[in-house]
Structure formats: structure tokens, C-alpha cells
Structure 1
């Protein structure tokens, strides 16, 4: 493998492991430390799924910049500096630390999402034609192995701190670990070459740039499927991150053990998904994995404090396996249905509507939580049935996309 594709893998391993280790159960535990309500905790925990709405602005800005490398380095460097501050906020009194944590988290996630289309375009333009067809699957597999190790370390730190009544020390230790990972990722980021941008005319007006992807029928089908999944996903994985801590009352050690097992299974299944895609196509793999998430939603609806000890391991493993193919599948379909010259704009428009759907899902889910909190705890399980219905609809839509290349 050439140096540039290899460096993109290293950058992804370091930065994305740190990024995703700050989401889900970890950020939910921090909101619990600050005493956030269940509904507010769900909103904050779901920001990684709702803030992609900012990607359209990022794509427009990248299309018009005359210094793309500086743009990429500035955006990527900024969010990597802000993210550890989320955990260092515990050094302040809770009344001051809570708003600082939210501000740093919103800015870090927001700037990352703002830069996402340009980052993806940078990767695709730099490696396409220079790597084997399984490059993205290999990249995903190594990322999952690294992320699993980071998540395991973070979870052990938080769990040990909670057992000894030293949560503040635990969050500080996580902040130090995040700083080390992101500092290392910056050294790799600075080695990456300038993006290759095809010669093109002056950028089209913003309205025209926005309408071009919407007029592309095949791309529009991919985008609509992604939107339906993003909305329904907030009622499954988004809510599950809060549900497992504040309703099922699972310990961080339990979460760490079984999420680690799930991530390892996801890593092992990633090359299998690539082989399956070679036979049936990535769009069918995507449809299959979304249908699997509908089954996971049904199992979450059956989870209670009484059966969590044996049902949560099943959920952790079954809930991780679909992501071995879903993310790569959606990326492959977007690449196959968008022109290379304006691909970053296509990614941005997809992310705008995808993020808007996730934001709507988060708002609706939080509103439903607010209503159901007045009832016995088992009433909250109805939320997973909403996600189940949406996931089934998205699976059918994915299977019907006219996209032979993927």
C-alpha cells in the first residue's frame, strides 16, 4: 500500500477512535455526572447524529475556498483541540462546568461535521484508483479494532472511578487519553498531501449547487433512504445509549465488556460484508443490515432491569454487526451516484438532509420521552417500536435503489 492511503488509515484510526469514544454511553455518563434530565441527556448524547446538518455549509465553503489544504487542517485541528476540553470541564464547579462542557461538545462535534464532506472528498480523491477494492473495508476493520481498545480503556477508567467515588478524576484521565490520541493524529494530519481537485469552472451559485444533487434521481433515492434510517436510528441506538445507563442501570464494566465484544464481532464481520457485497452488491448489503437493526430495536423493547444481564450481551453483539456493512454501503452508493467534480457538494447535501432527519428524530424522541416519563419505566420501551417501523421502511427503500455499480 502506498504512503498516502496508509496515512489516511492512521489518521482515521487515531482521530475517529478518540471522537467516537466521546459519544454514546461515555457522554451520557458525563451528562449524568452534571445531573442533566433524561430528555436533555438524550439531546446532548444525540448531537453526533443531529449536527451533520452543518455539513452543507461546510461543503459550500470547501467548494469556494482557494486554499483547500489550509481549510482542512484548520477545521480538523480545531475540533481535535476542543474535544478533550469536554472532559477537562470537570475541573470547574458543576454550575460552570456543565455549560462549558455543552459548549465545547457542541463546537467540537459541529466543526467536525462542518469539515466532514471535505474530509471524505479528500480521502476519496487521494486514494481512488490507487488502492484495491477492499480498501474501505480494511480501513473500517482496523478502525474498529483501534476504537474497541480505546473504548475499553475509557470505560475501565470511568467504571473504576465510579466504584471509588472519584468520577471527577476518571473524567480527567479520559481527557488526558483523548489529548494524547488527538495530538498524535495531528502529526499524521500534517503529513497528508494537498487534496487533488479536478479542474472546473467558477463555483455555481449556492442555490444551483444545492439543486444539482436533488435533481439526480439515483442519488436522491440514496439520500432519502439515508434520511429515513437517520430519523429512525435516533429511536434505536440514540435512545439506547441513555436507556442502558439511566433506565437499565447497567454498570460501565458491563457496558465495556459487551460493547467490546460487539466491536470485535463488527471488525471480524467487516471483510465478510465486503465479500457478501461482491456477490449481491452494496445496496443489498445496506438493506440487509438496516433490516437487522429493526430486529435489534425489537430486542431493545424487550429489555428490562430483570433480563438485562443476559439480553444486553445479545443486543451489544447484534447491534454492532450491521454497522460492519452499513456505513461502507452508504458511502459506496453515494460515490457510485455522484460525479467526481462536485462530489463534496453531493456529500454535503446528503449530510444536510441526513442531519435534519436525525435532528427531527432527536427532537421527537426527546418529546416522547418527556411524555412517557410520567408513566411506569416500561412505557419508555415504546420508543424502540417507532425505530423498528422506520428501520423496516428504510430497508425496503434501500433494496429498491437503482444502483448496480454499488
Structure 2
């Protein structure tokens, strides 16, 4: 407990650095919007073809998640981050040097996204969850600030850089930034030796205080058989569907609706700007209220925001909808991972979160494709953005029904729990 008596709890340094890495990763993965039209023109691709590439990239981002979670448990967060960095750098170099659409497909659509999964929230959530028990919801909500900052900063910054040095130069610039951030962070910040008791409070008698139920006997099979796990996955599917539709097609959609490119990029970025501040408020209450209820409101209001976004007719309407949507844009991933940690324990969190995030990316892949395909087939973006609203509202209802405590019918698990209770 000595580390907590020296001032700021060291776990918060891990959270801060993780926020920066998440900002870079999510910004590059979800900030594809400003790149779509320049890439289409340069490589002479149709909107459906580049939407297919984006969809594949979302799948690859998700495929890497369970592996990243597994490697974090087997080796370390440092190992996973550095491995991801190597893949990211090689894939970006291959992307900027090619004019062949199929090599572009491989480098940008497959390898880059796979590498980014190793620097994603899945890679840092397990170590944050080990460093935080009492304030786990707050810590993971704070991590979401990085995602929101990525959306807020990346879209307008990428638009500016693309207009200045082109999309290839912009990607290469971000490759350099990744090296400058991840290498020192992996070497000096990520410590696996968590102090005993982590951030648990100690009462006057010296006893550590915790309100969480320990589920050490659980296996991943128990989790997969539980209804609660699939409810979390359903919510993450909706989250991925909406976030990737926004990142991939919101800027082109607004441009098609006669907004200037800079206005469209700022409108999307405004969602992230507002979400940065709203996340701080939500983080302060994340451990005071039922996480499933917060998830309900996040998904429900976000669904209404998608309808407002696609029907915006003027700049002030766009900015108003973006600002209101930003109030609840963050937190779905943080609350989902916190729920998984509370229900199934930190030991399984990396693997379970990785597989659950694959559902997030499947949703993202579907929406990334439907965003382009739906516009070319139906001639309107109402199809994809309206569908997103429906899925989000449904996810809100499903999330509200997640149990506060795990109930498993697995006989072996129940017997273990009964034996543990008898022995105590």
C-alpha cells in the first residue's frame, strides 16, 4: 500500500497514458471519414469498394481483440503494445507507398486494423482493472475520454493535414506520433506489479473494504453460457454499429447534404469535444448508480441523436445535435467492460472483453458497408442512420435488463460456490 501514500495513486498515471494511446488508436480507426473521398479519388475506387475495405478493417480490428486480451494475460501489456506498434508502422509504410488497390486493401484494410487492436482499449483495460477495484467504473470511464478526444481531435486535424500534405503524408505523420508516444509509455509507465489491495479503502481496523463479489471460480465457459454476457455483447454490437457508421460515413453524408467539408468535420468532431467534458461528469457518478441503467440512457439518447444528425438542414442544427449527442456519446464501452469485470472477475476480463469487442467490430463492419451500399442503392443516408437509431434504442432496453449479480445454472460452478461458502 506504500504507493498510495506517496501522493497520487500510480494507477492514475496508467489511466492517463492509456487515454493518450486510446486517443491515437480510436482516432485513426474511427476517423476514416476525412480520408474516404481523397482515397477514392486517388486510387479510383467506388464508394461501395472502399466501404468494403472499411468493413473488412473493422472485422480485423475485432479479430485482433481476443488475441490482444490473451497475450496481455500471458505476457504483459508492454509486450502487446510494442507488438502492435511494429505492425502499425509496417502497415502504414506499405499503405502510403502503394498505388495498387489490392495492396492498399491488405495494408490498410487488414494489417493496420489488426495492429491497432493491440493498442486498443482491450489491451489496456485489464491492467487498469487490476489497478482499480473500488473506482473501476471511474477509471474505465476516464479511459473513454481518450476515445472521445480521438473523435474530437482527429477529424478536424486529419481534414487540415489532408488538405495540406495529402492523405499519404497525414498517415505517415500519425505513424511517427505513435512511435513517440507508445515506446516511452510501454517502457516506463505500464507496471504489472499491482500493490496489494489495489485502490481499496482501508477502515480503522486496517481491513480492506470492498463491495465487489469475487468470482475466482468462473471459467470462460461459464461466462459464455450466461445470458448477461450476451446482453453485453448485444450492446457492444450496437455501439460498434453506430460509432463506425459515424466515423466512416458521417462526414461524407454531411457533404452529400451540402455542408462544407470543414463544417462537416467540425460537426462530427464537436460530438467528441462535448463528450470529453461529459465523460468527466459521468465518471464521477459511474460507481454510484447501476451501470446497466447508465448504459440504457447512453444508448437510447444516442439513437435519437442519429436521427437528428441525418435530418439536420442547417449549420446551427448540426452543431446543436452534435453537442446534445456528445453528452451521452461516451461511456458505453467503459460501462460494458466494467460490468464484465464486476460479473466475471478481472482474471477473465481480457479474453471476455476481447471476444465481446469482436461483436462491437462486427457491428462496425456491417454499418461501414451499409453506409456506402445503402446510399448507392437507395440514394439516401436515412436508411443506414435510421437503422442505427433503431439498433441503439433496442440495445438500451437489452442493457437495462442486465442483472446486477451473476446467476449461473452451471452445476459445477454452483457446487464450487457452495463448497467455498461451507469452508468459510
State the TM-score, normalizing by the size of structure 2. 0.72
- The residue number in structure 2 matching 1:109 is 116
Question: 2:268 touches 2:322 (CA, 8 Å); kept in 1?
Answer: yes
Q: Which moved more, 1:362-371 or 1:291-300?
A: 362-371
Question: 1:11 touches 1:185 (CA, 8 Å); kept in 2?
Answer: yes
* 1:270 aligns to 2:279 (yes or no): yes
The CA distance in 1 between the partners of 2:357 and 2:147, in whole Å, is 23
- The residue number in structure 2 matching 1:182 is 182
- The residue number in structure 1 matching 2:352 is 349
- Tell me the CA shift for residue 27 of structure 1: 6.3
Could you give the per-residue CA deviations for residues 4-51 of structure 1, whole angstroms, max 9, x where no partner exists?
313312321331121122122346606445444323433444545763
Could you give the per-residue CA deviations for residues 59-92 of structure 1, whole angstroms, max 9, x where no partner exists?
45555x3xx33xx322210212333455444642
Quickly say closer, same or farther: Cα 1:254–1:226, change in 2 above 3 A: farther
The CA distance in 1 between the partners of 2:308 and 2:59, in whole Å, is 22
- The residue number in structure 2 matching 1:39 is 48
- The residue number in structure 1 matching 2:320 is 314
Question: 1:248 touches 1:308 (CA, 8 Å); kept in 2?
Answer: no
- Tell me the CA shift for residue 381 of structure 1: 1.5
- The residue number in structure 2 matching 1:173 is 173
Give the aligned length: 373
Question: 1:231 touches 1:359 (CA, 8 Å); kept in 2?
Answer: yes
Quickly say closer, same or farther: Cα 1:170–1:362, change in 2 above 3 A: closer
From 252, 258, 261, give the equivalent of 2:267: 258
Could you give the per-residue CA deviations for residues 296-327 of structure 1, whole angstroms, max 9, x where no partner exists?
12223424xxx263443234323332233323
**Secondary structure of the equivalent of 1:22?**
helix
From 119, 124, 127, give the equivalent of 2:129: 124
Question: 1:24 touches 1:45 (CA, 8 Å); kept in 2?
Answer: no
Unaligned runs of 5+ in 1: none
From 233, 236, 243, give the equivalent of 1:237: 243
Unaligned runs of 5+ in 2: 1-6, 198-215, 407-424
* 1:287 aligns to 2:290 (yes or no): no
Calculate the aligned-residue CA RMSD, in Å: 3.8
State the TM-score, normalizing by the size of structure 1. 0.75
- Tell me the CA shift for residue 357 of structure 1: 5.9
- Tell me the CA shift for residue 365 of structure 1: 6.0
The CA distance in 1 between the partners of 2:368 and 2:169, in whole Å, is 32
- 5 Å-filtered alignment, 1:354-373, equals 354-356=357-359, 358-359=361-362, 362-363=365-366, 366=369, 369-370=372-373, 372-373=375-376
Could you give the per-residue CA deviations for residues 212-267 of structure 1, whole angstroms, max 9, x where no partner exists?
2124x4xx32x323332333345433223332333432555334533443323212
The CA distance in 2 between the partners of 1:302 and 1:83, in whole Å, is 37
- The residue number in structure 2 matching 1:17 is 23
The CA distance in 2 between the partners of 1:107 and 1:126, in whole Å, is 27
